[in-house]
């Protein structure tokens, strides 16, 4: 759709204004005006002319020129001439009367072609075939609003718009027709047949319950699959962090730390041995004196033991003598002995015997203590030499460890490693649990589907109606066709995804020329797996390859505009539709460098472009745009209204 001319009557600030885009060679047409002068009104007028907007009454009350209203002029219209392929068209949308009492307006649309004329809904349908209203954001741009394409929840919307641009409309309409056929004809017809058999009512309820259970199980499986994907991402991050902690340098540091610990233990032992050797040293120094004293004590014990033996012998003899004095033989016990030989004995002294015994015990204890004295295997100087050697080795390993730590950039945190290992184990367990849950649910789904098939068979037996079988075959065929059409749509979009990504990155490279943008970002990408609905959320890729966290760190208005602009023009490369692009507020919040880069990009486009700009925006777009200017109009004030003036 190449727009040739636009004429508006009594629309917003324009009583009557006309733009001719056919008599200039340049492909970039300019409407220049101050803020509030009427640029956006022209932008709105073109869209109203093509698509109608919110309805006659709302359109009339919003857009009716104030001076026309005061003058009683009720006509309001937009006339657009355009070329589509080799055909010329004139589109007229007008409101020619307004019922003041009923607050109702009457709106007409007419599309005049080279050989045929369309009106009303037929005209609107033809416009939709030429350029669907769903795509107007790709051809009628607003620099202040295009950034909603990069919102966090815009993924499904972007995917739908890609499908529309790729002209999936026929497929989508076919799906809608099949779904309408199912919902409006086939399924109701089947239900009516089934209602004829009362015995099947309970079966239908049971089937419905099973299908609901299957739906819930599948939804839960989808949620678990998403959670598995998130968990796998977290697992990969934890493994990567753990791998960084477990490199060769850290192992060497840990080995050195272990060696130091072992040496410290050896040092503690040597210090203990040193202390003990100092304590035992006095025994070694006094060894001769101790041995001499021990010999004296042994001799003294022997003397005391001999004295005790004499005392004990006298005691025995004295006892025997006393027995003999009583006339009884101390040997055989014979009584009546007349004579016994006199022996020389000393009188037994019990107190002396006890004193000698105590003395012997005391001396024996002294002897045992002296005998228990142990002498050190090494002198203190031997232990001190070993301690000095250990200290020197500890120092060497400490220095080496510090060198490795300097290379690594800090001491590794054992608790962090333990945490990561625990996290990995927990995440692996979680994935196994989720996969096990999914597998269990899949088994339940298969069992429930088997139950449904069994019930369906039973239901058909109860129905005993060939018509029911025919309806079910048609339903199965329609559902299969819907699934295949949806598969075709998804495959086509996924095939184009990388190509669209490449195109939008080429645009981004051309328009994001400021030092900040070029140094900070390397391009754009879609998020996630192509099979996911949210995989079409637009993402800025930073210069280090990381994805910008656009959910928590909202991009600036300039970043948003450049991102959305790159996507729109990148996608237009593959559009099955074309149109003169009408762009309002082209600079948005771009700086001078990015505005000029955008201007150079506009100047190289093959399709015509109509820019609605202020004088400063036109200046910022740079010389490249000025060289490509075709038609150039300036908006001039006319009281409360505006007029268009041709600029030579």
Closest CA relative to residue 577, chosen from 50, 21, 142, 28: 50
- Does some domain include residue 114? no
- The torsion angles phi and psi of 205, rounded to 5 degrees, stand at -60, -40
For residue 552, give Cα distances in angstroms to 81, 157, 237, 324, 549.
46, 21, 19, 123, 6
Per-residue confidence band for 280, with pLDDT thresholds at 50, 70 and 90: low
pLDDT at residue 345 tops 60: no
- Does some domain include residue 562? no
The domain total for the chain is 1
3-state secondary structure of 637: strand
Closest CA relative to residue 518, chosen from 562, 556, 553, 554: 562
Angle between helices 557-572 and 592-603 (to 10 degrees): 10
What does the DSSP assignment read for 44-58? HHHHHHHH-TT-HHH
Q: Of 88-92, 214-218, 350-354, 570-574, give the range with the top mean pLDDT.
A: 88-92
- Does some domain include residue 209? yes
| pLDDT tens string 425-479 | 888 888 889 889 989 988 999 998 888 888 877 766 665 567 777 888 888 887 8
Closest CA relative to residue 151, chosen from 579, 534, 558: 534
Closest CA relative to residue 541, chosen from 574, 504, 570: 504
For the chain, how are helix, strand and coil distributed in percent, rounded to 5?
65, 15, 20
Q: Give the mean pLDDT of 591-608.
A: 85
In this structure, the chain runs to a length of: 648
Q: What is the rounded average pLDDT for all residues in the chain?
A: 79
Which residues constitute the domain of residue 423? Answer: 204-310+350-464
Least confident range from 126-130, 381-385, 507-511, 568-572: namely 381-385
SS3 of 372-403: HCCCCCCCHHHHHHHHHHHHHHHHHHHHHHHH
Report the distance separating Cα 76 and Cα 68, nearest Å. Answer: 9
| pLDDT tens string 551-593 | 677 777 777 778 777 877 877 776 667 788 898 877 667 888 8
Closest CA relative to residue 318, chosen from 338, 353, 345: 345
> Which one has a higher pLDDT value, 187 or 487?
187
Please state, for a pLDDT cut of 90, what percent of the chain lies above it.
16
pLDDT at residue 347 tops 60: no
Least confident range from 139-143, 271-275, 361-365, 596-600: namely 271-275
Query: Token digits for 1?
Result: 């759709």
- Does some domain include residue 618? no
Per-residue confidence band for 80, with pLDDT thresholds at 50, 70 and 90: very high
Q: Give the mean pLDDT of 505-516.
A: 84
Write down the pLDDT at residue 123.
95
- Does some domain include residue 420? yes
Dihedral angle of Cα 142, 143, 146, 147, to the nearest 10 degrees: -160
For residue 120, give Cα distances in angstroms to 69, 90, 269.
26, 14, 103
Q: Which residues neighbour 625 within 8 Å (Cβ) at sequence distance 6 or greater?
A: 28, 599, 600, 602, 603, 611, 618
Write down the pLDDT at residue 198.
60
Write down the pLDDT at residue 103.
64
3-state secondary structure of 311: helix
How large is the C-alpha radius of gyration of the chain?
Answer: 53
Q: Give the mean pLDDT of 193-222.
A: 80
Report the distance separating Cα 324 and Cα 333, nearest Å. Answer: 9
pLDDT at residue 407 tops 70: no
> Which one has a higher pLDDT value, 564 or 150?
564
Write down the pLDDT at residue 346.
52
pLDDT at residue 534 tops 60: no
Whether residue 534 contacts residue 157, with contact meaning beta carbons closer than 8 Å, is answered with no
For β-strands 28-32 and 14-20, DSSP reports them as unpaired
Q: Of 87-96, 499-508, 532-541, give the range with the top mean pLDDT.
A: 87-96
> Which one has a higher pLDDT value, 111 or 508?
111
pTM: 0.52
Report the distance separating Cα 471 and Cα 469, nearest Å. Answer: 5
Angle between helices 350-372 and 287-325 (to 10 degrees): 150
pLDDT at residue 13 tops 90: yes
Q: Give the mean pLDDT of 232-245.
A: 79
Closest CA relative to residue 284, chosen from 501, 276, 41: 276
3-state secondary structure of 348: coil
Using CA of residue 542, residue 547, residue 552, residue 557, what is the dihedral sign?
Answer: positive
- Does some domain include residue 96? no
DSSP state for residue 604 in the 8-state scheme: T
Closest CA relative to residue 414, chosen from 248, 259, 253: 253
| pLDDT tens string 21-72 | 986 667 899 999 998 899 999 999 999 999 987 777 777 778 888 888 888 8
Least confident range from 28-42, 107-121, 157-171, 224-238: namely 157-171
Query: Token digits for 448?
Result: 């429930």
Write down the pLDDT at residue 184.
81
Report the distance separating Cα 12 and Cα 510, nearest Å. Answer: 36
Please state, for a pLDDT cut of 70, what percent of the chain lies above it.
75
Whether residue 475 contacts residue 187, with contact meaning beta carbons closer than 8 Å, is answered with yes
Query: Token digits for 542?
Result: 């930073």
Per-residue confidence band for 172, with pLDDT thresholds at 50, 70 and 90: low
Degrees, nearest 5: CA angle 137-141-147 = 80
Write down the pLDDT at residue 579.
85
Q: With residue 316 as reference, give the H or E element that holds it.
A: helix 287-325
Report the distance separating Cα 289 and Cα 291, nearest Å. Answer: 5
| pLDDT tens string 611-646 | 999 999 899 888 988 888 999 999 999 888 999 999
pLDDT at residue 241 tops 80: no
Report the distance separating Cα 237 and Cα 438, nearest Å. Answer: 24
- Does some domain include residue 453? yes
Q: Of 23-27, 34-38, 234-238, 397-401, give the range with the top mean pLDDT.
A: 34-38
For residue 427, give Cα distances in angstroms to 245, 414, 433.
19, 20, 10
- Does some domain include residue 440? yes
- The torsion angles phi and psi of 193, rounded to 5 degrees, stand at -65, -40
The burial of 292, by beta-carbon neighbours within 10 Å (0-12 exposed, 13-18 middle, 19 or more buried), is given as exposed
């Amino acid at each position: 759709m190449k727009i040739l001319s636009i004429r508006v009557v009594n629309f917003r600030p324009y009583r009557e204004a006309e733009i001719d885009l056919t008599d200039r060679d340049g492909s970039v047409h300019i409407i220049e005006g101050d803020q509030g002068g009427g640029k956006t009104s022209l932008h709105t007028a073109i869209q109203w002319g093509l698509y109608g907007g919110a309805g006659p009454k709302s359109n009339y009350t919003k857009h009716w020129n104030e001076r026309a209203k005061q003058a009683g002029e009720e006509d309001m219209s937009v006339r657009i001439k355009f070329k589509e392929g080799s055909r010329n068209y004139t589109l007229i949308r007008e409101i020619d009367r307004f019922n003041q009492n009923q607050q109702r307006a009457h709106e007409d649309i007419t599309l005049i072609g080279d050989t045929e004329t369309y009106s009303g809904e037929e005209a609107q349908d033809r416009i939709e075939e030429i350029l669907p209203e769903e795509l107007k954001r790709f051809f009628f741009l607003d620099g202040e609003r295009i950034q909603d394409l990069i919102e966090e929840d815009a993924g499904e919307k972007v995917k739908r718009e890609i499908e529309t641009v790729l002209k999936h409309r026929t497929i989508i309409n076919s799906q809608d027709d099949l779904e309408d056929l199912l919902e409006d004809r086939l399924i109701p017809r089947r239900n009516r047949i089934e209602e004829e058999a009362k015995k099947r009512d309970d079966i239908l309820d049971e089937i419905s319950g099973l299908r609901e259970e299957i739906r819930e199980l599948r939804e839960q499986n989808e949620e678990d699959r998403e959670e598995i994907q998130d968990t796998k991402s977290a697992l990969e991050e934890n493994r990567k962090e753990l791998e960084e902690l477990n490199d060769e340098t850290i192992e060497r540091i840990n080995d050195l730390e272990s060696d130091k610990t072992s040496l410290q233990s050896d040092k503690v032992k040597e210090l203990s041995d040193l202390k003990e050797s100092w304590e035992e040293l006095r025994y070694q120094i006094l060894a001769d004196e101790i041995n001499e004293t021990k010999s004296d004590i042994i001799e003294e014990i022997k003397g005391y033991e001999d004295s005790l033996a004499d005392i004990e012998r006298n005691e025995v003899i004295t006892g025997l003598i006393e027995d003999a004095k009583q006339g009884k033989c101390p040997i055989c016990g014979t009584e009546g002995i007349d004579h016994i030989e006199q022996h020389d004995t000393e009188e037994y002294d019990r107190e002396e015997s006890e004193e000698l015994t105590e003395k012997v015990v005391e001396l024996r204890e002294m002897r045992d203590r002296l005998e228990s004295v142990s002498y050190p295997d090494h002198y203190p100087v031997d232990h001190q030499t070993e301690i000095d050697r250990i200290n020197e080795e500890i120092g060497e390993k400490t220095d080496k460890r510090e060198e490795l730590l300097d290379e690594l950039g800090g001491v590794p945190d054992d608790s962090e490693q333990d945490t990561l290992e625990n996290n990995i184990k927990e995440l692996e367990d979680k994935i196994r649990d989720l996969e096990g849950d999914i597998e269990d649910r899949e088994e339940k789904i298969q069992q429930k589907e088997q139950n449904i098939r069994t019930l369906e068979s039973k239901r058909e037996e109860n129905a005993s109606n060939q018509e029911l079988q025919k309806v079910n075959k048609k339903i199965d065929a329609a559902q299969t066709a819907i699934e295949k059409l949806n598969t075709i749509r998804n495959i086509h979009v996924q095939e184009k995804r990388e190509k669209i990504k490449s195109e939008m990155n080429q645009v981004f490279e051309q328009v994001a020329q400021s030092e900040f943008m070029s140094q900070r970002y390397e391009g754009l990408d879609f998020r996630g797996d192509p099979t996911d609905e949210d995989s079409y959320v637009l993402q800025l890729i930073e210069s280090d390859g990381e994805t910008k966290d656009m959910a928590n760190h909202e991009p600036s208005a300039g970043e948003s505009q450049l991102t959305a602009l790159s996507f729109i023009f990148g996608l237009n490369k593959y559009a099955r539709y074309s149109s003169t692009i009408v762009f309002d507020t082209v600079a948005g919040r771009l700086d001078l460098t990015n505005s000029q880069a955008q201007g150079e990009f506009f100047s190289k486009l093959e399709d015509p472009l109509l820019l609605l700009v202020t004088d400063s925006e036109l200046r910022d777009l740079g010389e490249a745009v000025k060289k490509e200017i075709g038609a150039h109009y300036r908006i001039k004030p006319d009281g409360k209204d505006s007029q268009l003036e041709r600029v030579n």
